[in-house]
A and B are shown apart, each in its own frame.
Chain A
Amino acid sequence: MASTREIQIRRKSIQDTMKITNAMYMISSTKLRKARANLEETEPYFFTLQSLVTNIMQRLPDVEHEFFGERTNKKPEDKVRGYIVISADKGLAGAYNHNILKFAQDQISQWKHYKLFVVGRAGRHYLRNRGIPLARHFHYAAQNPSLHRARIISETVMEQYRSGELDEIYIIYTYMKNSMTTETKMTRLLPFLPENFKQDGVESVQPWEGNDNGMFHGELLLKPSPNAVLDNILPDCVMGYIYGALIEAFCSEQSARMMAMEAANKSAAEMIHDLSIEYNRVRQAMITQEITEVISGAKAQKKKKKAKKKEEK
Chain B
Amino acid sequence: MGTFDLKILATNKVFYDGKCKMLVVPALDGELAVMADHQNMVVATTIGDIRFQDDQSDEWHTAVVGIGFVHIANNRVTMLVDTAERPEDIDEVRAREAYERALEQLQQKQSIQEYHVSQASLARAMHRLKKGTRKIVD
CA distance A229 to B28 in the complex (A): 9
Please give, as numbers and ranges, the residues of chain A lying within 8 Å of B112 by CB-CB distance: 159
Partner of A207, one of B12, B78, B113, B116: B78
CB distance from A78 to the nearest CB of B (A): 24
Are B44 and A45 within 8 A (Cβ)? no
- Is A268 close to B, CB under 8 A? no
- Is B35 close to A, CB under 8 A? no
Show 29 residue pairs from A and B whose CB-CB distance is below 8 angstroms, ordered by the A residue: A45-B11, A45-B12, A48-B7, A147-B11, A155-B113, A159-B111, A159-B113, A207-B78, A208-B76, A208-B78, A212-B73, A220-B40, A221-B40, A221-B41, A221-B42, A222-B41, A222-B42, A223-B27, A224-B28, A224-B29, A229-B42, A229-B44, A232-B44, A232-B45, A232-B69, A236-B67, A236-B68, A236-B82, A240-B11
Q: Which residues of B contact A (CB under 8 A)?
A: 5, 7, 9-14, 27-29, 32, 39-45, 67-69, 71, 73-74, 76, 78, 80, 82, 111-113, 116-117
Partner of B82, one of A52, A147, A207, A221: A147
Are A41 and B13 within 8 A (Cβ)? yes
Beyond A159-B116, A229-B69, A243-B11, 15 additional pairs, beta carbon < 8 A: A42-B11, A44-B14, A52-B71, A52-B80, A155-B113, A207-B7, A208-B5, A208-B76, A208-B78, A220-B42, A223-B27, A224-B29, A228-B28, A232-B67, A236-B67
Contacts A221-B42, A222-B41, A232-B67; is A155 near B76 (CB within 8 Å)?
A: no
Please give, as numbers and ranges, the residues of chain A lying within 8 Å of B74 by CB-CB distance: 212, 214-216
CA distance A297 to B11 in the complex (A): 85
Are B41 and A48 within 8 A (Cβ)? no
- Is A219 close to B, CB under 8 A? yes
- Is A152 close to B, CB under 8 A? yes
A-B contact count (CB 8 A): 98
Closest to B30 in A: A224
Contacts A224-B29, A236-B82; is A231 near B116 (CB within 8 Å)?
A: no
Per-residue CB proximity of A145-158 to B under 8 Å, as 1/0?
Answer: 00100011001100
CA distance A312 to B29 in the complex (A): 131
Please give, as numbers and ranges, the residues of chain B lying within 8 Å of A219 by CB-CB distance: 40
CB distance from B33 to the nearest CB of A (A): 13
Closest to A150 in B: B11
CB distance from A213 to the nearest CB of B (A): 9
Closest to B11 in A: A45
Per-residue CB proximity of A59-79 to B under 8 Å, as 1/0?
Answer: 000000000000000000000
- Is A261 close to B, CB under 8 A? no
Please give, as numbers and ranges, the residues of chain A lying within 8 Å of B113 by CB-CB distance: 155-156, 159
